[in-house]
Amino acid sequence: MQRAAALVRRGCGPRTPSSWGRSQSSAAAEASAVLKVRPERSRRERILTLESMNPQVKAVEYAVRGPIVLKAGEIELELQRGIKKPFTEVIRANIGDAQAMGQQPITFLRQVMALCTYPNLLDSPSFPEDAKKRARRILQACGGNSLGSYSASQGVNCIREDVAAYITRRDGGVPADPDNIYLTTGASDGISILVSGGGKSRTGVMIPIPQYPLYSAVISELDAIQVNYYLDEENCWALNVNELRRAVQEAKDHCDPKVLCIINPGNPTGQVQSRKCIEDVIHFAWEEKLFLLADEVYQDNVYSPDCRFHSFKKVLYEMGPEYSSNVELASFHSTSKGYMGECGYRGGYMEVINLHPEIKGQLVKLLSVRLCPPVSGQAAMDIVVNPPVAGEESFEQFSREKESVLGNLAKKAKLTEDLFNQVPGIHCNPLQGAMYAFPRIFIPAKAVEAAQAHQMAPDMFYCMKLLEETGICVVPGSGFGQREGTYHFRMTILPPVEKLKTVLQKVKDFHINFLEKYA
């Protein structure tokens, strides 16, 4: 190309219009001839293709942000461009993102985070002393007194101490060791170290069906074997140990079951496990030599007056040393749920007990490869486990805000259950906890045929139609797993009460029309 440009530049002197035209034509012809001499460059094959990429990544699916959510995004763009729809907004009821749905942040948490992020505010009289005290403690434990520094791979030491103190208080004095606390952004690190073997010795991970799709996604990514056990929908999504036995015996034919995941309170099903159920599960894990993973991120979200949250750690210790000294348990908590709703901070912790000392070293090594969890998320987790206490300046406001959030969620849980159960062809179990409804829906045979014609699961077809006709985005039950021949969807109860009533009415009207259309 440089040579071609030079040939053109040779004709740069002053010329008459006719001579310029001849010169330009001649130069262009010569340049074209030069270019033809060069071999034509073809685009070489891409190194990374669908065929060459990591097959485990390709196998990952995450329904909560799957095709239905992509479609919701497309519809939102169409609304912004002025394209007319039978609705004016998309209501994203697909995900438990409290603040996106209008929940206000807890003042004290944001005050401490502001102080930690911009320490000059520590001199401001606008912030309470108890918030300043916590911010100073966190900053003093950070390199350079800054949230912008790396922390130890296991997390900031004083925050791990606060987590341990919180667990001890929560569990009525059952001791927690800061050395067993790992500050983290999720559960996947806890699972990855457990996966090994090949063929029939490949690690099997038992998960509830319905389940939170993060688990099946991580299992696919790690190339482990998913072992399904079914919750009992007819008994308010209870966990039955006989079903665990069935699942583990069948799994032994093709893998080595090593891990049992429990979600309590349940996502997407909202059930709260009884103490007796937890004892049975622990005994089963002890019998079968299974590593227990207890996802307890909704531990503050219990609404039914007949239910209460029991941590696996507490029940394990109260069952005596034969269990408490032998059953390996990792339990999880997060800033994202509860009354906090601080999803964006990505803060959480994992407590691991009865881990072999050499394995603990391997886990720390694995975490060190990731450097550290976000320090701002660690700070947010600290405020969750170390809130204002009676006698402190911020206690009354904090308690008022916390009770308001949880009280509203309890009202919305009952409202959702009651209204869904008034709709022909919809049945919703009691929402004992968490922040979702997972109603069972009747889908007529003609609708199933229409779904097959569109190469969709029937409940995906239903949810897509719901989105296109009402603007309400929910997640089909097939993304969470369900018994063959049953259909569900998951919907969050987080919208403000009036908007939630609107959503429920729109779902009711849509469902009745859907049944009529495909009768």
Residue 127 burial (CB < 10 Å; 0-12/13-18/19+)?
A: middle
Q: Are residues 457 and 326 in the same domain?
A: no
Q: Which pLDDT band holds residue 291 (cuts at 50, 70, 90)?
A: very high
Q: How far is CA 222 from CA 184, 217, 251, in A?
A: 18, 9, 18
What are 74-87's pLDDT values in tens digits?
999 999 999 999 99
Q: Which tokens is 36 given?
A: 């033809």
The count of structural domains within the chain is 3
Q: Are residues 47 and 67 in the same domain?
A: no
Question: Would residue 85 count as lying in a domain?
Answer: yes
Find the mean pLDDT for residues 37-50: 68
What are 321-360's pLDDT values in tens digits?
999 999 999 999 999 999 999 988 889 999 999 988 888 8
Q: Which pLDDT band holds residue 9 (cuts at 50, 70, 90)?
A: very low
Whole-number CA gyration radius for the chain: 29
Question: Would residue 509 count as lying in a domain?
Answer: yes
Q: Are residues 247 and 282 in the same domain?
A: yes
Find the mean pLDDT for residues 436-454: 95
Residue 40 predicted with pLDDT over 70: no
- The Cα–Cα gap between 140 and 135 comes to 9
Domain, as residue range, for 49:
2-58
Residue 16 predicted with pLDDT over 50: no
Q: Are residues 202 and 70 in the same domain?
A: no
The pLDDT value recorded for residue 275 is 95
The pLDDT value recorded for residue 8 is 35
Residue ranges of alpha helices (H) inside 327-429 are 357-369, 375-385, 395-420
Q: Are residues 161 and 299 in the same domain?
A: yes
Question: Would residue 334 count as lying in a domain?
Answer: yes
Find the mean pLDDT for residues 9-21: 43
Residue 280 burial (CB < 10 Å; 0-12/13-18/19+)?
A: middle
Angle at 18 between CA 13 and CA 22, to 5 degrees: 75
Question: Would residue 135 count as lying in a domain?
Answer: no
- The Cα–Cα gap between 162 and 154 comes to 14
Q: Are residues 279 and 162 in the same domain?
A: yes
Q: Are residues 375 and 282 in the same domain?
A: yes
What are 112-152's pLDDT values in tens digits?
999 999 999 999 999 999 999 999 999 999 999 998 998 88
Q: How far is CA 176 from CA 160, 164, 166, in A?
A: 10, 5, 9
CA count, 13 A, side-chain hemisphere, 3: 9
Q: pTM here?
A: 0.84
Residue 170's identity, in one-letter code, is R
Read off the CATH number of the domain in which 225 is found.
3.40.640.10
Find the mean pLDDT for residues 219-240: 90
Nearest to 257 by CA among 197, 333, 331: 197
Question: Would residue 376 count as lying in a domain?
Answer: yes
φ and ψ at residue 394, rounded to 5 degrees: -95, 0
Question: Would residue 126 count as lying in a domain?
Answer: no
Q: Are residues 6 and 97 in the same domain?
A: no
φ and ψ at residue 175, rounded to 5 degrees: -70, 145
What are 503-517's pLDDT values in tens digits?
999 999 999 999 999
Residue 252 predicted with pLDDT over 70: yes
Q: Are residues 281 and 336 in the same domain?
A: yes
Q: Are residues 331 and 275 in the same domain?
A: yes
The pLDDT value recorded for residue 439 is 96
Q: Are residues 214 and 336 in the same domain?
A: yes
Question: Would residue 400 count as lying in a domain?
Answer: no
Residue 152's identity, in one-letter code, is A
Q: Are residues 206 and 220 in the same domain?
A: yes
Find the mean pLDDT for residues 231-250: 94
- The Cα–Cα gap between 130 and 108 comes to 9
Q: Is 405 helix (H, G, I), strand (E, B) or coil?
A: helix
What are 405-421's pLDDT values in tens digits?
999 999 999 999 999 99
Read off the CATH number of the domain in which 476 is found.
3.90.1150.10
Element of type H or E holding 292? strand 291-295
